[in-house]
Amino acid sequence: MSSFSGKVVLVTGASSGIGKATALEFARLGATVGLMARRGEELEKVAAEMGGKGIVLPADVTDEVAVNSRVSELVSQAGGIDVLIAAAGISLRAPFETTTIETIRRVMDVNFMGCVLPTKAVLPYIKARKGCMIAISSLSGRKGTPEYTIYGSSKFAIQALYDGLRIEHMRDGVNFGVFCPGFVDTPLRESVLKGDGKVYENPPKLPFRLWSVDLCVNKILRMVRGRLKSSLLPGIIHYLLTADDFVFRGWISDMVLRYKFGYWRK
């Protein structure tokens, strides 16, 4: 019997990438999965792969009314919620100086408020079942990164949100975890925003390797099963950043990022 048999999982950003892959794996392991994203037609395709385990919940995660309505719909159909995977997000790569305020607001709205609203909507139901919430962040949400200053800021905010919630609800038996991967091989790589809010026709070359979606899914499942508060990909980054901050006050990682992003001679 699967450890997720009889469980109800809500996944935001479930139409593609990490969200889709995670939703499919939870369904394979026996869970009933609520699929939330803007593109209802894509969610229908995901649900079709689940053999009756998917509940389609089209909604923009920045729309409070829509999110609350869809969460209520999921609870009505499935009886409650055990797990939230907050995976919705957009990517931006541009120097802060050339990024418009409108683009900054858009990224913060989708990446941060798009985590806040589902989290707030499901909290009473997760508390009732002493469940688990996992937010998908980024390594740039753990270490400031050139050209990802705004994207990283939206992810730093998620870290602060879930760290605080973990303490507020420790006695309620709710686990809050943040997963921080590096660059992941998903369709998001083809829709990275420029500073003006438009999508790159040819996205910039990545400074580091791409990680597989399957590895991300395995990490997320391990976090839910172990009720972990954090996980990084690659995992060794946690130790490298800790050692760098403690011994070198972050100087080594700053130098590596300057070199990798071409700021060594700027």
CATH of domain 8-234: 3.40.50.720
CA–CA gap between residue 140 and residue 241 (Å, rounded): 12
Question: What's the gap between Cα 174 and its chain centre?
Answer: 18
Instruction: Give the per-residue pLDDT at 1.
Output: 41
Give, for all 266 residues of the chain, the pLDDT tens digit.
468 999 999 999 999 999 999 999 999 999 999 999 999 999 999 999 998 899 999 999 999 999 999 999 999 999 999 999 999 999 999 999 999 999 999 999 999 999 999 999 999 999 999 999 999 999 999 999 999 999 999 999 999 999 999 999 999 999 999 999 999 999 888 899 999 999 999 888 888 999 999 999 999 999 999 999 999 998 898 888 889 888 888 889 989 888 888 887 65
Which residues, 6 or more positions from 89, have their beta carbon under 8 angstroms from its beta carbon?
13, 110, 111, 114, 136, 154, 188
The beta strands (E) that lie in 130-172 are given as 132-136
CA–CA gap between residue 55 and residue 219 (Å, rounded): 24
Q: Name the active-site residue from 125, 151, 162, 239.
A: 151
pTM score, whole prediction: 0.95
What's the residue count for the chain? Answer: 266
Give the three-state DSSP class for 78: helix
For residue 132, list its beta bridge partners: 83, 175
Instruction: Give the per-residue pLDDT at 196.
Output: 97
Respond yes or no: is residue 151 known to be catalytic.
yes
CA–CA gap between residue 86 and residue 116 (Å, rounded): 9
Instruction: Give the per-residue pLDDT at 265.
Output: 63
CA–CA gap between residue 135 and residue 125 (Å, rounded): 17
Token code pair at residue 102: 């409108």
Token code pair at residue 96: 């802060």
Q: In the chain, where are the structural domains located?
A: 8-234, 240-266
Query: Sheet containing 83-86: which strands, arranged edge to edge?
Result: 54-58, 32-37, 8-12, 83-86, 132-136, 175-181, 230-233
